Chain A
């Protein structure tokens, strides 16, 4: 079945440093979505990418969708303590429901 892998599992950065999480799917995706889950909370939608090679920016966050539509990345520039949480990618392949990656937990040291 479809699998979505994310690396790293965990990253601890100093405030102001950059952060990147990578997502890889075993199958081609029709779209990819990114979610953020604060500690103790529920996942909240950040963005959706649909086109091959697509790049979208939200303030300090940059999202990319690979040319082959099998991988994606989220890059945060100059992290802040408010960026703390777990970031999930989720892809839609052949099924009618999203498959989530394992997530990357980000800790930001002030």
Chain B
């Protein structure tokens, strides 16, 4: 069966520090991968999606970046965090772009 792992679950970072969130999927090949962000009490904002290794589409201009170094690994990074980067970050995968999304447990980031 397929599983998705996302870490760390919680982190508190100072403004200007770097960020790295990791997500891995097991039990499937060539998944579509996604990073969403959810501000407190708000909806899900699509940040990045990837249909294959090295293929990243960015949806929102920001100081975040994403990489897909391996087929089932998706990384969200920032060189310098802003206060506005605080939120709940969710990694997800799907078999097809049209199919259901399977979400990880999420990473709650607080930037102080």
Binds A, one of B14-22, B23-31, B43-51, B70-78: B43-51
- What's the interface size class on A, roughly? 20 to 34
Task: Tell which of B43, B97, B100 has the most Cβ of chain A within 10 Å.
Answer: B43
For residue B85, which residues in chain A have a CB less than 8 angstroms away from its CB?
A: none
Pair A45/B98 contact, Cβ less than 8 Å: no
Task: Tell which of B34, B41, B44, B103 has the most Cβ of chain A within 10 Å.
Answer: B44
Secondary structure call for the A interface: strand
Q: Is B7 in contact with chain A by the CB < 8 A criterion? A: no
| Cβ contact of A42, chosen from B49, B57, B104, cutoff 8 A | B104
- What's the interface size class on B, roughly? 20 to 34
Given contacts A92-B97, A97-B97, contact A42 B42 (CB under 8 A): no
Binds B, one of A54-62, A72-80, A99-107: A99-107
Pair A96/B51 contact, Cβ less than 8 Å: yes
Given contacts A42-B104, A42-B106, A96-B49, contact A30 B44 (CB under 8 A): no
Whole-angstrom CA separation of A46 from B51 in the bound complex: 23
Q: How far is the CB of A51 from chain B (nearest CB, A)?
A: 13
For residue A33, which residues in chain B have a CB less than 8 angstroms away from its CB?
A: 100-101
Q: Is A88 in contact with chain B by the CB < 8 A criterion? A: yes
For residue A102, which residues in chain B have a CB less than 8 angstroms away from its CB?
A: 42-43
Q: How far is the CB of B59 from chain A (nearest CB, A)?
A: 7
Whole-angstrom CA separation of A90 from B43 in the bound complex: 10
Closest to B34 in A: A97
Q: How far is the CB of B13 from chain A (nearest CB, A)?
A: 21
Can you name 14 A-B pairs with beta carbons within 8 Å? A31-B98, A33-B100, A41-B105, A42-B90, A43-B90, A45-B101, A48-B99, A90-B44, A96-B57, A96-B97, A97-B46, A97-B49, A97-B97, A99-B46
- Residues on A close to B: CB < 8 A? 6, 30-31, 33, 35, 41-45, 48, 88, 90, 92, 96-103, 105
- Residues on B close to A: CB < 8 A? 32, 34, 36, 41-46, 49, 51, 57, 59, 90, 97-106
